[in-house]
Amino acid sequence: MKKLNNLLLKNSTFPILVALLCSAIFAGGHMFVKYGFGFFNEIAQAEMVRQGIQTGDFAAPVGFAAGFIIARVLEGPLVGILDIGGSLMTGVGTGFVSLFLASGLGFVVDNFLLSLLAGVGIGLVIGIIIIAVKKAMPSGMAASGTNIMMGAGNATGRYLGPLIILSAAKYSIPAGIGAIIGAAIFFKMKKEIVGGVIIGAMIFAVLFPVTVGG
Amino acid sequence: MLIIVIKSLIIGALGGLAVSAGAARMFHAPEVQAMGAFRTMGELNACKGDPIAHFTFGLGFFFNAAGSIVGSGALTQDVLHRIIPNWSAGVLLLKNKKVEETLYHPGSMAVVGAFVGAITVAALNSVASLIPANLSAIAQGILGPASAVMIETIMPIIFILAAIDAGKTTGVWGIVLGGISHVIMGNATPGAVLGIIIGQSIQDNGYNKSVKIMITIVVVLFALIGYFREFWANLLSIVTAAF
């Protein structure tokens, strides 16, 4: 165990860890495309990919992810902690999976083994780039922009709860009422209201079925 | 069902191993390159030493993740950011309360993390796979329109406003790149994100070499995306029609 510890504290093993994590995240994309769940990201990013699959236009997820992966890979070696949310979950899980689907490499995502391997490859490259940047350590590319992006990212999260309440209200009267009750309970319990909104809307929509969109 | 569980166990083990080792490395950063997030480190520190605190903290997010995966298929970022690192730390701390000999050791965290990750991901994905089809149709009917508004309107606005609030230079870059990106790829968010990064770097360090490289990359990126989305062809036909 001591040997493993020392080995895993070396900078040279960092790309291997990134490769394994990317492998899991990319295969999460495989699960999502094939079964509709298992995506290692937030609801908004999952819907971006789902819209891409439905319309065939992946510009939104690819572009969105590109910004995050560039920012995080530059920031990671500067501060010593690579933010896996922006760089890997969004950059690889949303961006690269969408890129593969958009550019005729969809068979890689469709195949479990190939998706694991694709993740390993992408992760190795990202990990090596980060260690290389850390060694070279150029000054000047500030990490300060990421604070603003994080703030904006958190702000978008806040909008989702109220937005789903509105959407549930439009879907059917019971779903709307359920969403409101769920949100109120979760807010009172000091939890993120999104969870309560979805659960409340689902329960009421199932208990009181209404034919929608007639 | 069996195939889903097997795949989930493999995915969870790989991810859990890597993310737990990465989290342990955070306590040796910046000399050792780590991965995770600053908030993950803060939260791990907040319940440091107390296994119950780690378990309950993770459990709260586990319920959130379960709700999310049933509704939309998304595990949420919390699985890798919060649940697996905290539960791995909790398991290790049950035996030994000294964080220096448990949580800070990437080797031990990796081994425990692989098991924790496998079980967590398999449990969440199994819950999702047991949900009847009409239920997920309802979820889609409610979540689909909400996320469409989110992606097409709210996110671009928030990111452009964030750029504007960050000062004149960042604001201008955010507006211009955000606007161009909406024209070329139909969504302003990527452009606004790039505008924030470029604008902030200029505000902090001036037009140095790395900013110039960054701008070049963005211009090439936009030009290429414009080509693949037939933006240039459309623009050309509009201009030629006008003359």
- Per-residue pLDDT tens digits for A68-109: 787 788 778 877 889 898 899 999 999 999 999 998 899 999
Question: What is the pTM assigned to this prediction?
Answer: 0.79
CA separation for the pair A28, A161 (Å, rounded): 24
End-to-end CA distance of chain B: 62
Query: Are B119 and B196 found together in one domain?
Result: no
Residue with tokens 């990013």: A45
pLDDT tens for A33-74 read 999 999 999 888 898 899 899 888 888 888 878 877 877 887
Q: Does residue B196 lie in a domain region?
A: yes
Judged by CB atoms closer than 8 Å, whether chains meet at B142 and A171 is answered as yes
Among chain A residues, CA nearest to B206: A140
Residue B143 is assigned to a structural domain of this protein = no
User: Tokens 């069902």, residue?
Assistant: B1
Same domain, B79 and B172: no
Give the nearest chain B residue to A59 (CA atoms).
B185
Residue at B119 is within a domain? yes
Return the percentage of chain A with pLDDT > 90, whole number: 48
CA distances from B3 to A25, B7, B12, B65 (A): 18, 6, 14, 21
Q: Are residues B79 and B188 in the same domain?
A: no
Name every residue whose Cβ is closer than 8 Å to that of residue B215 and which is 6 or more positions away in sequence. Answer: B198
pLDDT value at residue A125: 96
- Cβ contact A5–B106 (<8 Å): yes
Residue in B35, B69, B203 to test binding to A, most A beta-carbons within 10 Å:
B35
**pLDDT greater than 80 at residue A205:** yes
Q: Tell me the chain A residues in contact with residue B185 when contact means C-beta distances shorter than 8 Å.
A: 59-60, 63
Q: Residue with structure tokens 């980060």?
A: A130
Contact assignment for A112 to B7 by CB distance below 8 Å: yes
Q: pLDDT by residue (tens digit) across B181-206?
A: 899 877 888 888 888 888 988 988 88
Residues B123 and B153 in one domain: no
Mutate to test the interface with B, among A6, A10, A26, A47 (most CBs of B within 10 A): A47
Q: Are residues A24 and B35 in contact, defined by beta-carbon separation less than 8 angstroms?
A: no
pLDDT value of position B48: 65
Can you give the residue range of the structural domain that contains B227? 148-242
Closest CA to B40 of A46, A69, A45, A85: A85
Query: Which structure tokens are listed for B137?
Result: 């149709």
Size of interface A-B (CB pairs under 8 A): 340
CB contacts, 8 Å: B204 with chain A: 142, 144
Task: Note whether B11 and B124 are same-domain residues.
Answer: yes
Q: Are residues B215 and B99 in the same domain?
A: no
Closest-approach residue (CA) in chain A for B69: A37
* Min Cα–Cα distance to chain B from A104, Å: 13
Q: How many whole angstroms separate alpha carbon B106 and alpha carbon B18? A: 9
Q: B20 and B120: one domain?
A: yes
Residue B142 in any domain: the answer is no
A47 to chain B: which residues are within 8 Å by CB?
A: 72, 143-144, 147-148, 150-151
Residue A21 predicted with pLDDT over 80 = yes
Where among B101, B131, B161 does a domain terminate?
B131
- Domain check: are B92 and B153 in the same one? no
- Rounded to a whole number of angstroms, the distance from the CA of B31 to the nearest CA of chain A is 7
Q: Is the CB of A51 less than 8 angstroms away from the CB of B209?
A: no
List the end-to-end C-alpha distance of chain A, in Å, as a whole number.
Answer: 63
DSSP A91: I
| φ and ψ at residue A209, rounded to 5 degrees | -65, 140
Domain count, chain B: 2
- Of B131, B160, B184, the domain-final residue: B131
Render each residue's pLDDT in chain B as its tens digit; 243 residues.
Answer: 899 999 999 999 999 999 999 999 999 887 889 999 888 888 888 876 789 889 988 887 888 788 888 878 899 899 999 999 999 999 999 988 888 889 999 999 999 999 999 999 999 999 988 877 677 778 778 877 887 888 789 989 998 999 999 999 999 999 999 999 899 877 888 888 888 888 988 988 888 887 888 888 888 878 887 877 788 888 999 999 888
ipTM of the complex: 0.80
Q: Do B115 and B192 share a structural domain?
A: no
Burial annotation B34-64 (CB, 10 A radius, 16+ → b, else e):
bbbbeebbebbeebeeebebbbebbebbbeb
Distance in angstroms (rounded) separating the CA atoms of residues A165 and B103: 40
Q: Where are the domains of chain A?
A: 2-142, 158-207
